[in-house]
Structure 1
Amino acid sequence: MLMDNPLADDPSWECKVHKFKISQTAYLEMTLAIKDHLYGEREVKTIQDMEKDLKMYQEYLHPQHHLCMLLKRDIIKAYSRLGLKDVDRQDFLRIRELCQESLDVLGLVDPGYPIWKADTLKDLAACEMNLARVEFEGGLIPRPEFLERVKNSMKIVEEASKCKSNVTIKRKFDNGEPLTEETTKLNN
């Protein structure tokens, strides 16, 4: 659904797939209902349930709507809680797809090295490494390609480490004076 005239005082929203329009108020009510359905329930959902919800939401919302992107992030996290024996090649391909979409979409609205990017890159690196392992063990890729993909996974981890290094902690002495590298050396 997209706004038909974003500059109007009360724009309507139009579904390009189903060819219908709804008011701004109806759109807001719908998104609040979806948000409540996503996060209002306390029951733990399975990955299959979340995928089913995502498919349903994408009937009404753009696949890159923030609520869809949040649900995709939840799906990635649910996969990360599974043991390796419970995740197969198709699952790793899905994790890769979701991670890459998160990086592409969120990278446009929040560029640079924010913390969310570190988490997504960490999930992508683990996925890529495990996918390479599964494909090598299954005879789908030769050893040199396996080693190259493991090396590329490590590059993803390096990029993730840049994200966390952007956090600056400014420490102070009890008297309020800033603690710098020079004062640390003087006190040792």
Structure 2
Amino acid sequence: MECYAQYFARPLANVAVDLELYAQLLHKWQAVQNLVSRETLNEVWTRHFADSLQVLTLLKPTDQAFLDLGSGGGLPALPLAIALKGTPAFFTLIEPNSRKVSFLRTVARELGLLVTVEGARSDQIDSRETPVPDVITSRALASLPQLCTWIKPFFGPQTRAILHKGREHVEELAETATHFDYDVLIQASDIDTSGVLLTLTNLRAKSVS
């Protein structure tokens, strides 16, 4: 986590305190709701928090509005919100599972984060009623073609989608290109040797001939 400290909006010690509280809540709620895989619960700092925080390296100083799809246990959005706490950055989390919604709202409230949680699927939300995001995030939710279908309504001219993907990203990009035009930057993951972060811009559906 220390390697990302230069991107934090406040001292590392303060961020670490909030992340520890978040970890404690994850362990507490995991007993009644599967928030992360059981196999990785004891590796939450490396497998989940550090994996989320590497998104910070791709952010711009002007990024303020964040939209996270399929938030689940809050990754990567909540670690990012913790790291950027005290700045104008605000996060909208979309999660249809009511128990996970309760968990996300509990973390946001107890840690004093600028986070709003929408208890619905992305296709149930009117994109005209949400702020145009600077950054869209998603981790371990769906294949890239499906993700692009879900995030396209929220895209503005300057929106970037920063997405965690695995070793299948090459095939997924090729499949996505049959339905969408886009520009993409591929960055190797610092945490997962087979993973990448995909930054998509200028996402637009191909016209049907």
TM-score, scaled to structure 2: 0.22
TM-score, scaled to structure 1: 0.23
**Higher strand proportion (structure 1 or 2):** 2
Please say which structure displays the higher CA radius of gyration: 1
